[in-house]
Amino acid sequence: MKGQSESDNRVKALSLLGLARRAGLLLIGQDSILRASNSRLFIVRTEDCSQSVLRKIERRLIERGSVCFVINGVSRERLGGSIGANSAQIAALPIESGLAKNLAELLQ
């Protein structure tokens, strides 16, 4: 039953990310996220996110109070498809947003 719950939460999280994109809250890709480095962000990444991207994000954002969650079982293509992009390995939204709080509950 736990596996089903995790799968349901993953689907809900991807749907929330799509909603955040449509609302104009979602930053997609490392360049967009790094440009917002003065903001505290709720960052989500795929299981297959590159180490290079992770190092850049951790160095510039995590130190400033942003948080990063892995969406287990989700590839770049699946995340991209959920947010209207071909492929995406990392995305973020403002940590204070209600959608970020909902995502945190689903991904913990």
CATH of region 2-107, choose from 3.40.50.300, 3.30.1330.30, 1.20.58.100, 2.150.10.10: 3.30.1330.30
In the chain, where are the structural domains located?
Answer: 2-107
Q: List the alpha helices (DSSP H) in the chain.
A: 2-22, 30-35, 51-60, 76-83, 98-107
Q: Please choose, from the candidates 40, 35, 98, the residue with its C-alpha nearest in 3D space to the C-alpha of residue 68.
A: 40
Name 42's bridge partners: 67, 93
Q: Please choose, from the candidates 23, 90, 84, 10, the residue with its C-alpha nearest in 3D space to the C-alpha of residue 56.
A: 90
pLDDT tens digits along 9-29: 999 999 999 999 999 999 999
Q: Are 26 and 100 in contact (CB under 8 A)?
A: no
Q: Whole-angstrom Cα distance, residue 74 to residue 71?
A: 6
More confidently predicted of 108 and 22: 22
pLDDT for residue 1: 36
Token pair 């480095």 is found at 37
pLDDT tens digits along 59-106: 878 778 899 999 999 999 999 999 999 999 999 999 999 999 999 999
